[in-house]
Amino acid sequence: MFIYEKSEQTVPIVLLTENNAAERISLLPEFVQNWAATNKFGGRAGEFCIIPGEDGLPEQVLAGYDRQDMLWAIADLPSQLPPGEYMLGNSLTEDDTVLVAIGWG
């Protein structure tokens, strides 16, 4: 389920592009860097990587997307994630947020 208001169980989805993934991931904790590298996550459109917490449950999701195609950028992501509460962890423009929501719908 995708939500708008964050709760304690909310898992953030961090959107990355192939162009910015390496730099942005390098700013994350070493565990996340290693997990992304082990899973060969590179920010390619349609690619995602679930980062587990210490309890083994999803703590965050890294998702690759193409800024030129926001409508379909992550449209299939909801069907691929395990049950839970998710929300976008990035700031998107209002127009991009609407396009992503339509794609999910």
Sorted by sequence, the CB contacts under 8 Å of residue 35 that are 6+ apart come out as 49, 51, 52
Total domains in the chain come to: 1
End-to-end alpha-carbon separation of the chain, Å? 12
Is the model's pLDDT at 1 over the cut of 60?
A: no
Query: Does residue 47 fall inside a structural domain?
Result: yes
Q: Is residue 91 part of a domain?
A: yes
Each residue's pLDDT tens digit, 59-75: 999 999 988 888 888 89
pLDDT digits (tens, 9 = 90+) for 6-28: 777 899 999 999 999 999 999 99
- Residue 72's CATH number: 3.40.220.10
Is residue 3 a part of any domain in this protein? no
Residue 75 lies in a domain: yes
Q: pTM for the whole thing? A: 0.88
Is 83 a domain residue? yes
Domain that holds residue 62: 11-104
Percent of the chain with pLDDT over 70: 95
Three-class secondary structure of residue 88 per DSSP: strand
